[in-house]
Amino acid sequence: MRAFAAVFTRELFERRFVFLVAFLAGFVPLIGSGLYGWSTPDAAEGRVLVALVGATALSAAFALLLGAAVIVGDTREKRISFYFSRPIPSASLWAGKLLAAIAITLATAFLAFTPGWLSGNGRARNLWGLDATPGRTALAALALAVVFVLGSHAVVTVARLRSPWVALDLILAPTLIFLAAVFLQALLREAFTNRYASAGQIAATMSTVLVALGAAILLALLAASLAQVVEGRTDARRAHGAFSVVFFGILGCGVALLGGYAWWCASARATDLASISDAGTAPRGRWVTVAGPLRAGRLGGSFLFDPSSGRSLKVRSFGAFISQDGARASWCETRIGFFEKGNRYEMYVADLSSGKAFATGMPCAGAPPAFSPSGNRLSFLDGGTLAVYDVSKPENPKQMFASQTDAGSALAMAFVDEDTVRLFPRVFNARTRSGLTPESFEITEFSLPSKKSLVTGRFDRESLPYLRLSADGRYFVGSRKTRDAENESVLALYDGRTGAPVATLASGIRSAQARFLTGNRIAVAGIEHASARLFFYEAEKGGAGPARSIALGPAARVALGGEIAPGRVVVALNASDQNDEAAAHTWKALSVEASTGAIASLGEGLVPANRYGWWSNAVLPPAEAGSPAATLFLDAESRLVRLDPATGARTVILGKGK
């Protein structure tokens, strides 16, 4: 400690004139204010600003100079042997010199800033909207001083010691920067291509990663400069070598950890989901889409998951779309990164029988893709171009059709049959609809054999075409909001070809939801007068009113599921209108017989996995009645469970529970 104190005080004494310069510089704002007659109320803040800028610039300059001089300068000029021939431990020498440089930097900043700050009556506290408390200011100043001093030391070590180790520096520095950028890109991709991490979570995760990287750099600089003194001593070449080995060793470990974390996040499987926030089932087949937060600090993720085999595919998008036969899935993946040029979106196609996903290289954007009934054709939009590909061999898709459209990306699409694609306008924002041209509401059919398009119909401006398409494409369900009652939602049945309203399915019912059942029957659920109701319609007789209306009991919320068996629909009721943890336990799952209206309890704390959601399954055809997917539920612990309707037994398939 004595040796450290001796070195530290010697360095301060050696550079005592710096303090005088900083002290005098501190009066520059006051002198300037006097010379230019700043007398307005803003003058005080002006002085503080000038003092802040001046103090920062001055202390930064001193930090750079000191960082360059304190150890490397002595080594280069062969004066460091003076200290090594004294009873001074190497670590004390290192600490004494570097801490003195940092202390001088901070002291000069303080001296140069204080007169201006005092003259401003402490107005710097909220300068530029920052909450510049003395503690935070001191911490920021300390961090900057350390970074400047050590950074300057590192640069000068490479530049001035001029040993052959510079070759290693020149190779490793850009290599590590490149690798760190690649890994950060991978993390960014994971962070921004799933909707289950909020902006705040993403920012928190990324800032943690960046802080960890910064800490690794700081640790590397500290350890490397210590090794430089301890192992190098008077030998400039060895000092440089020790610095480079330790610096790049630690940074390499840091970058490797970053890479490992990025890989860990990217390699997450559905079984790593901590809980299931959203699930969707395929019209046929075993695969489901699941999404939610990942365990152990990973970012959230979306997956295609086969519960029977445990296989999963990561979907870096806002959900995947599964063909009606359940054999293929597709999604449009965002290519976020530092090195991406041109095409920033790429279509992925998965062969669910083999469980393999293929990046097709096909550009895509905007609307969700759609599969033909056979699953061999895939249509999607790339900006203003509608493209149809033959994906019978997903690894080698072939373009069949491409046509310009005027509707931009605000579209939904569906195959009416194997050769016909129908485009529907999707204008979500009720306010912007009033300014759109009539063409924006047109329904257009594209014939693949003739490569011709035909406008077959048009929505009215009051319709919000949130689409749920019938299996044969003849009908769809949409919502409709009247001009007079902006907040009143009307659920309506539309003709799939012309867009003409066929029937009103629900009016004056809150949280109205609809689902096509087998035989073009429609189930509609909602809350009416604090009580849940379920209606069954027949599309062919839509205008004739519901075939059956069933009161389910008091509820604040309702979730409509699929057909757990032909003609047997699953719903879940909740007495609470809160979407919190306690309310998760108060869901009650029921099955309702469409033909008789008989209600049977399936259990508590369960909601159907393939429950109705406007946002996720825009044009997805209905799940096959009685398919395994219909028996999937989310329990109160946000786990995906399979329910045996006969026994009521639950089997947890995914999720760790809360």
Partner 1 sequence: MSATPSPVVSAGRLLVKYGGNPKPTLEEISFSVPRGSVYALLGRNGAGKSSLVRCLLGQQKPTSGGCFLFGEDVWKRRASLMAKIGVVPEDPDAPPSMTARQLSAFCAKLYPTWDAPSVEARLARFGVPAGTPYGSLSKGQRALVSLALALASSPELLVLDDPTLGLDAVARRAFFEELVGELADRGTTVLLTSHDLAGVESMATRVGFLKDGRLVLDEDLETLKGRFRRLRYANEQTEERAEYGQELAAFDAVRVKVRGWGVEAIVSNYGDESFARFTALEGVMDAESSSLSLEEIFIAIAGETPGRNA
Binding residues for partner 1, rule: CB under 8 A, are: 2-3, 5-6, 10, 13-14, 78-82, 84-90, 92, 163-164, 231, 233-235, 237-238
Closest to partner 1 by CB, 65 or 558: 65
Nearest approach in angstroms of CB 227 to partner 1 is: 12
Nearest approach in angstroms of CB 341 to partner 1 is: 43
Closest to partner 1 by CB, 79 or 541: 79
- From 252, 300, 311, 247, select the one nearest 278 (Cα to Cα): 300
Nearest approach in angstroms of CB 97 to partner 1 is: 12
Give CA–CA dist 457/548, Å, rounded: 31
Closest to partner 1 by CB, 70 or 609: 70
Closest to partner 1 by CB, 236 or 362: 236
Give CA–CA dist 190/567, Å, rounded: 41
**Crossing angle (nearest 10°) for helices 42-69 and 134-161:** 30
Nearest approach in angstroms of CB 231 to partner 1 is: 7
Element (H, E) at 302: strand 301-305
CB 574 within 8 A of CB 634: no
Nearest approach in angstroms of CB 100 to partner 1 is: 13
Closest to partner 1 by CB, 236 or 525: 236
Nearest approach in angstroms of CB 94 to partner 1 is: 12
Nearest approach in angstroms of CB 78 to partner 1 is: 6
Nearest approach in angstroms of CB 187 to partner 1 is: 39
Closest to partner 1 by CB, 79 or 452: 79
Closest to partner 1 by CB, 10 or 195: 10
Nearest approach in angstroms of CB 67 to partner 1 is: 18
Closest to partner 1 by CB, 137 or 163: 163
**CA distance to 52, 106, 197, per residue, from 58 (Å):** 10, 10, 43
Query: Buried (b) or exposed (e) across 429-455, using 16+ Cβ within 10 A?
Result: eeeebeeeeeebbbbbbbebeeeebee
**CA distance to 476, 517, 518, 599, per residue, from 622 (Å):** 11, 7, 8, 22
Closest to partner 1 by CB, 90 or 152: 90
Closest to partner 1 by CB, 54 or 232: 232
Nearest approach in angstroms of CB 235 to partner 1 is: 5
Which residues are within 8 A (CB) of 657 and not within 5 positions of it... i.e. 6 or more apart?
275, 637, 638, 639
Q: What is the DSSP string of 37-89?
A: T--STHHHHHHHHHHHHHHHHHHHHHHHHHHHHTTHHHHHTT-THHHHTSS--
Q: What is the DSSP string of 454-469?
A: EEEEE--TTEEEEEEE
Closest to partner 1 by CB, 13 or 339: 13
- From 522, 525, 462, select the one nearest 488 (Cα to Cα): 462
Give CA–CA dist 176/178, Å, rounded: 5
Question: Bridge partners of 560?
Answer: 571
- Number of Cβ within a 10 Å radius of residue 173: 16
**CA distance to 301, 393, 400, 460, 635, per residue, from 278 (Å):** 11, 30, 34, 32, 12
Closest to partner 1 by CB, 78 or 541: 78
CA 103 vs. chain centroid, Å, equals 41
Nearest approach in angstroms of CB 237 to partner 1 is: 6
Nearest approach in angstroms of CB 240 to partner 1 is: 11
Per DSSP (E only), the strands in 418-530 are: 420-425, 442-447, 452-458, 463-469, 475-481, 489-495, 501-507, 510-516, 521-528
Closest to partner 1 by CB, 4 or 331: 4
Give CA–CA dist 228/165, Å, rounded: 13
Tokens linked to 297: 């600090």
Q: Is 231 exposed, middle or buried (0-12, 13-18, 19+ CB in 10 A)?
A: middle
Closest to partner 1 by CB, 230 or 565: 230
Closest to partner 1 by CB, 129 or 164: 164
Nearest approach in angstroms of CB 249 to partner 1 is: 19
Give CA–CA dist 654/634, Å, rounded: 9
Residues constituting the chain: 658
**CA distance to 66, 133, 134, 216, 628, per residue, from 139 (Å):** 20, 10, 8, 18, 58
Nearest approach in angstroms of CB 391 to partner 1 is: 60
Nearest approach in angstroms of CB 76 to partner 1 is: 12
Report the amino acid identity of residue 174: P
